[in-house]
Amino acid sequence: MHQQSHDPVELLKKQLNADCNQAQLADKIGISPQYLSEILRGKPPGGAVLDYLGLERVITYQPKVTDSAEPATRKRGRRRA
């Protein structure tokens, strides 16, 4: 069973072909070609792109994996001038 990708860059790249270049795809989405280019190079996509792709941004947090059973703590020291 193949799992569908939810990576915006991958989904956008799949739409680029001989019949649809970056300028045409940007026009379909309603963004500038420059902005599309930035997204394809790693800039996080904004609302218009996510809406076009039928995606939403979800941020999650999870505990760090540590070597011990005790929670990880960060030691804070004073900075000297």
Q: Model-level pTM?
A: 0.69
pLDDT in tens, 25-66: 999 999 999 999 999 999 999 999 999 999 999 999 999 998
What are the C-alpha distances in Å from 28 to residues 25, 34, 35, 64? 5, 14, 13, 41
More confident site: 50 or 1: 50
